[in-house]
Structure 1
Amino acid sequence: MTNIVGPRALFGVIVPSTNTVVEHDYWTARVPGVAFRAGSMHIPNPMMGDDAGFEALLGQIRASIDTAVRDALTAEPDRMVMGMSAETFWGGVAGNEAFEERLRRRTKMPVTTGASSCRAALQALKCRRIAVFSPYQPVADREVGRFFTEAGFDVAAITGLRCPTATDIAKVPEERLRAEVARLDGPDVDAIVQVGTNLSFVALADTLERELGKPVIAINAATLWHALRSHGIDDRVDGMGELLRSL
């Protein structure tokens, strides 16, 4: 029998318990016949105000991801989507590949991660020189930069918003995001990439693409695009950037 609300696809989505943005972004796309079931990673201490705090937060994610995956699997999804990004960039390209392989073995199903989705998106858009921003601390930005560099991209700049807590990521106002993009952009930059899934950036990225005349990739749009296209679903979605609108 087919899931009534997800007859085309049911995606398990793994998110930190502090994350309020991923599911909102995915459901806002309103792709007919595609549904989502979240598995939540318990984050009892959301503090991430410095490098040590961020690494402690990552430790909480690693300690609870198996439980979140276990819970999502009970809904019998068709694909597992990582609705968190820092861990998927950790250790560069090899670290991402090892992370995905562990999840495939655990779930026995295809996996979409933020790192691989951003790489695929940049390749599809034929972008090489990029600027990246995140809500992270420097320890995480170094890992993000390492991944993109090892994946063959020229990272012109990478910066973090240095959010003090995981919940504060969802509170970053539009004007600050606009200012960050303006600071990173330049004539030698092919694309702006945003990572950090609790940062609400999808709609603004769509607007900025039109204003700047170049790709502005929001990670939640990239992961949704990757999951849909990998699953053979080619519906076009307006308002979420060029990826979902055109590719």
Structure 2
Amino acid sequence: MTNVVGTRAVFGVVVPSTNTVVEHDYWRAGVPGVAYRAGSMYIPNPVMGDDADFQGLLGQIRAALDTAVRDVLTAEPDRMVMGMSAETFWGGVDGNAAFEQRLRARTGLPVTTGASSCRAALRELGCRRIAVFSPYQPIADKEVGRFFTEAGFDVAAITGLRCPTAMGIARVQPDPLREVVAGLDGPGVEAIVQVGTNLSFVALAEELEAELGKPVVAINSATLWHALREHGFDDRLAGAGALLREH
């Protein structure tokens, strides 16, 4: 439901309690009349140093999701946006669809997830052969690759930064990310895709697009774009990549 600061819409945004980047990226985009109410999924043990740790982190997200959604709903939002991405890729295309259906049934609201947003963004951009990077461990990268492959994309390469903790994702500096993108790029790669919502990449993606001459999709830009367009808002925004600026 709209209010004084969200005169056009209020988006509920669900984030892990360790995440400091999603809300920053959304507010920084400066969409007039759109406000955000974040609900936090409590993560008491944020380690993700190997596959087992990552599965444990995912278990914490799943256990805390309903409470975070409950809290967001008290602000009477118009749409739910998932400000965490790994769970939305899990189980491939069918897993994502089931996840979204559960949220729609729970909230009665339209839902935006990272996986669906990236799929829609790549289709809009006309890109099929992609390279992907994440802050994840191999177990999660496998699920990300599975989703994109099932969605009809040719995944040329996928790599994870193997961040040791959930908070450490937000501490990754631009220079290492530039190196990762340089290693993934190639003449047959039509787009670079970044997943992992606590990774600060929106501004750098804008720079890299200009340098590489191809789309570089930051997941926080993709989810904001999807939420806006699906909600009927056609705002064109500068500083967050070609997706939000031109599509």
Query: Normalising TM by the smaller chain, what interval?
Result: over 0.9
2:119 corresponds to 1:99: no
Partner residue, 1:134:
134
Deviation at 1:158, TM superposition (A): 0.3
Shift of 1:9: 0.9
Helix, strand or coil at the partner of 2:101 = helix
1:223 matches 2:223? yes
| Structure-2 separation of matches of 1:142 and 1:52 | 14
The one-letter code sitting in structure 2 at the alignment partner of 1:203 is A
* 1:179-230, Cα deviation, whole Å (9 max, x unpaired): 0000000000000000000000000000000000000000000000000000
Moved over 4 A (4+): none
Match of 1:117 in 2: 117
Whole-Å separation in 2 of the counterparts to 1:162 and 1:210:
27
Q: Contact conserved, 2:2 with 2:9, CA < 8 A, in 1?
A: no
Cα deviation code 1:140-170 (max 9, x no counterpart): 0000000000000000000000000000000
Which residue of structure 2 aligns with residue 177 of structure 1?
177
TM-score under structure 1 normalisation?
0.99
* 2:75 alignment counterpart: 75
- Equivalent position amino acid for 1:177 in 2: L
CA distance in structure 2 between the aligned counterparts of 1:10 and 1:33, rounded to whole angstroms: 9
TM-score normalized with structure 2 length: 0.99
Which amino acid counterpart does residue 26 of structure 2 have in structure 1?
Y
Partner amino acid, structure 1, of 2:3: N
Separation (CA, whole Å) in 2 of partners of 1:179 and 1:171: 16
Indicate the SS of the match to 2:217.
strand
> Separation in 1 of the partners of 2:194 and 2:217?
6
**Code of the aligned partner of 2:61:** I
Q: Displacement of 1:7 after TM fit?
A: 1.1
Could you tell me which residue of structure 2 aligns to residue 196 of structure 1?
196
Which SS does the other structure have where 2:164 is aligned? coil
**Number of aligned residue pairs:** 247
1-structure distance, mates of 2:4, 2:103? 26
Matched residues in 1 for 2:86 and 2:142: separation? 11
Q: Letter of the aligned partner of 1:68 in structure 2?
A: A
Distance 1:177 1:237 in 2: 23
Q: Secondary structure at the match of 1:206?
A: helix
| Post-superposition offset of 1:2 | 3.8
In structure 1, the gaps of 5 or more residues are none
**Contact 2:192–2:215 (Cα < 8 Å) also in 1:** yes
Letter paired with 1:112 = T
**Matched-pair contact (CA < 8 Å) for 2:2–2:10:** no
d(CA) in 1 for partners of 2:135, 2:176: 11
Residue identity (%) = 79
For 2:197 and 2:48, locate their aligned partners in 1 and report how far apart those are by CA, in whole Å: 15
Q: What is the RMSD computed on CA atoms of the aligned residues?
A: 0.6
What are the superposed Cα offsets for residues 121-140 of structure 1, whole Å, 9 maximum, x if unpaired?
00000000000000000000
Supply the distance in 2 between the matched residues of 1:40 and 1:118 (Cα, whole angstroms): 23
Matched, 1:9 2:12: no
Q: Tell me the equivalent position of 1:152.
A: 152
Partner of 1:31: 31
Amino acid at match of 1:76: E
Cα distance in 1, alignment partners of residues 164 and 236 from structure 2? 36
Partner of 2:60: 60
Contact 2:131 2:193 in 1 (8 A): yes
